[in-house]
Amino acid sequence: MLDMNLLRTNPDLVRENIRKKFQDEKLPLVDEVIAMDREYRDAIQRGDSLRNQRKTLSKQIGGLMAKGLTDEAEQVKAQVNAAADELAALEQKESELQAEIRKRMLVIPNIIDPSVPIGRDDSENVEVQRFGEPVVPDYEIPYHVDIMERLNGIDLDSARRTSGNGFYYLMGDVARLHSAILSYGRDFMIDRGFTYVIPPYMIHGDVVNGVMSFAEMENMMYKIEGEDLYLIGTSEHSMIGKFIDSILDEETLPRTLTSYSPCFRKEVGAHGIEERGVYRIHQFEKQEMIVVCKPEDSPMWFDRLWQNTVDFFRSMDIPVRTLECCSGDLADLKVKSLDVEAWSPRQKKYFEVGSCSNLGDAQARRLMIRVKGKDGKKYLAHTLNNTCVAPPRMLIAFLENNLQADGRVRIPEVLRPYMGGKEYLG
């Protein structure tokens, strides 16, 4: 959510930013907010005037009564009552205008970083850098589910009967590999100085509204019937929500946290749920990274966060690339975002395995996450998040890149301690 002062002082910047995100249907919101804000401030000013007038008149009543001027005192009382009625109406109007302004402000997108490439959708995202040499072996790489089934590691049919499409049973060595990757991701991030956290898996609606846009919420979040609780789509939601309505001492920043959680997503939209496969599903697990920092430090932390993911995948010899998200592919709260994509030897292309985002002060403004500086002044923090690893999607990259010609799957050295010393599966 933007600072209201920005719309008051530089509405053209806000309009240009909306155009850069190809959301021209939102342009009228700027004028609506400006007009409502003007009306809101006029109502406040009129209300202050009435309160001062009421104070003055109330003093007059006492003086008139002391002099025995009862009729005159009653006339002044009538004026006080009229002022009180008008003031009540104004307070109601202020409340309604404030709600309408906030509703529109929540929809107006955040100002994107000047470095963000301009484009309509993810087809116009820009490759930044490649890490590792993508290899296509001279033997066939089967579909990832076929590899898992050969290892007796997945049962989609049973999951469909119990839960429907978008769910799975992982079993045996594949299930163990799944847990090993998460455990390695946890330790990898702890070794990089992040504090390990297991957060709540459900959050209140005000936290949901604080961390994401309404459109994202509708397409992602599962609501618990009859309760003000939502299942998290990523631990970022509850991790950023941890700081709601808080004032952090500047000297305690940055807060660098890494969190494990299951994630639950509707996956409503163009992509939909896969009937056979574990790339896009309703339920998965993830190791996440969260940073809450001073505004001037967020660009530096953005670069550190995506580099962590690159280093994690490269430690398992998986080739990756980074992709700068264009303006039209950015969620409304994001200032800048970069995807990490892993190489798929079967498809001979890269696919997304992680996303790093700088949200500026958007989440902090919605959730009132403030920092108290050494001078005692308060300002909004910046928040960032990034995926360290999210199996089972990561399993696809792992299995394809480590499959051997004889059908076995190689276990990289860094994972062997988590796999009982095994060097191969199969």
Q: Are residues 272 and 244 part of one domain?
A: yes
Q: pLDDT band at 207, cuts 50/70/90?
A: very high
Pairwise pLDDT comparison (418 vs 273), residue with the higher score = 418
Q: Are residues 95 and 172 part of one domain?
A: no
Which one-letter amino acid corresponds to residue 231? L
Look at residue 34 and tell me if it is in a domain. yes
Q: Report pTM.
A: 0.90
d(CA 84, CA 8): 31
What average pLDDT is seen over the chain?
93
Chosen domain end from 105, 131, 152: 105
According to the model, what pLDDT value does residue 82 have?
84
Look at residue 111 and tell me if it is in a domain. no
Q: Are residues 90 and 143 part of one domain?
A: no
Nearest to 111 by CA among 298, 296, 304, 330: 330
Say which CATH number the domain at 66 has.
1.10.287.40
pLDDT digit string, tens, across residues 286-323: 999 999 999 999 999 999 999 999 999 999 999 999 99
Q: How far is CA 352 from CA 169, 265, 309, 393, 398, in A?
A: 23, 17, 12, 9, 13
| Structural domain of 25 | 4-105
Average pLDDT in the 376-392 region?
Answer: 96
Chosen domain end from 48, 79, 105: 105
Predicted confidence (pLDDT) at residue 216 exceeds the cutoff of 90:
no
Is there a contact between 248 and 255 (Cβ–Cβ < 8 Å)? yes
Helix axes 11-20, 27-66, angle to 10 degrees: 150
Is there a contact between 102 and 209 (Cβ–Cβ < 8 Å)? no
Give the single-character DSSP code of 153. Answer: -
Say which CATH number the domain at 319 has.
3.30.930.10
Neighbour-count burial for 213-231, b at 16+ CB within 10 Å, e otherwise: beeebebbbeeeeeeebbb
Q: Are residues 193 and 164 part of one domain?
A: yes
Q: Are residues 101 and 159 part of one domain?
A: no
Look at residue 117 and tell me if it is in a domain. no
Q: Are residues 81 and 162 part of one domain?
A: no
Predicted confidence (pLDDT) at residue 94 exceeds the cutoff of 90:
yes
According to the model, what pLDDT value does residue 49 have?
86
Alpha-helix runs per DSSP H in 137-230: 144-150, 156-162, 172-191, 205-211, 214-220
Q: Are residues 328 and 220 part of one domain?
A: yes
Q: Are residues 306 and 415 part of one domain?
A: yes
Strand 255-264 with 195-197, pairing: parallel
Phi-psi region of 172 (alpha: psi -120 to 50; beta: other; left: phi over 0): left
pLDDT digit string, tens, across residues 233-252: 999 999 999 999 999 999 99
Pairwise pLDDT comparison (393 vs 409), residue with the higher score = 409
Backbone angles phi, psi at 173, to 5 degrees: -65, -30
Q: Are residues 179 and 234 part of one domain?
A: yes
Backbone angles phi, psi at 341, to 5 degrees: -120, 140
Q: Are residues 132 and 86 part of one domain?
A: no
Look at residue 110 and tell me if it is in a domain. no
Q: Are residues 76 and 202 part of one domain?
A: no
d(CA 371, CA 363): 14
Tokens 């992680």, residue located: 354
According to the model, what pLDDT value does residue 271 have?
63
Q: How many domains would you assign to the chain?
A: 2
